[in-house]
Amino acid sequence: MKIIQSFLVLALSLVSHAVQADDDVAEGGQLYKTYCSACHGTEGGMDMSKRVAPPIIAVRMHYIGAYPDKTSFVAAVTNWVEKQDAGKTLMRGAIRKFNIMPPVSVTSDDAQKIASYIYEGNIDKPAGFDKHFEEMHGKRKMNPGM
């Protein structure tokens, strides 16, 4: 009986953990719209002369390449949002093209939720992104998680 009880407690806590993670991704999506999509959204499409920042799908791909697991991905993106440090960039070409990202005022907690959303949420990509990516980076296999 005791074993069944502790099993139930464990199962419940696993479920609530998963629900919590889903909530963070959903909330992160809303926060992303508020704080990031003006620059990283689909406006301007793939015409970089009409954009002010790389599309968020490009950011995801660069960060997943360097940080495949969620914990380190979220930490790296959160660090960047808290402090833009050119010495830690994964997107040197984007800094050259757009200049370094200006500071954004979000709490560390919100930045983590946004980062979870960028990692595993249903983020958008401008029309033509896949073609551009192939031309830029060849037909190499996309990173796991894509």
CA distance linking residue 20 with residue 118, whole number of Å: 16
Q: What is the DSSP string of 3-61?
A: HHHHHHHHHHHHHHHHHHHHHHHHHHHHHHHHHTHHHHSSTTTT-GGG-SS--HHHHHH
> Which has the closest alpha carbon to 91: 118, 65, 120?
65
Please, what is the end-to-end C-alpha distance for the chain in angstroms? Answer: 43
The residue (of 17 and 97) whose beta carbon lies closer to ligand HEC is 97
> Which residues 18-57 are close enough to bind ligand HEC by CB under 6 A?
35-36, 38-40, 52-54
- Please, which of residues 56-115 interact with ligand HEC by CB under 6 A? 59, 77, 80-81, 84, 89-91, 94-95, 98, 100-102, 104, 106, 114
CB 5 → ligand HEC: shortest distance, Å? 42
Our CB check for ligand HEC shows the closer of 30 and 127 to be 30
Task: Kindly state the number of chain residues that form the binding site for ligand HEC, as judged by CB under 6 A.
Answer: 25
Residues 6+ apart with CB under 8 A from 129: 46, 55, 57, 58
Least separation in angstroms between CB 58 and ligand HEC: 9
User: Site residues (CB under 6 A) for ligand HEC?
Assistant: 35-36, 38-40, 52-54, 59, 77, 80-81, 84, 89-91, 94-95, 98, 100-102, 104, 106, 114
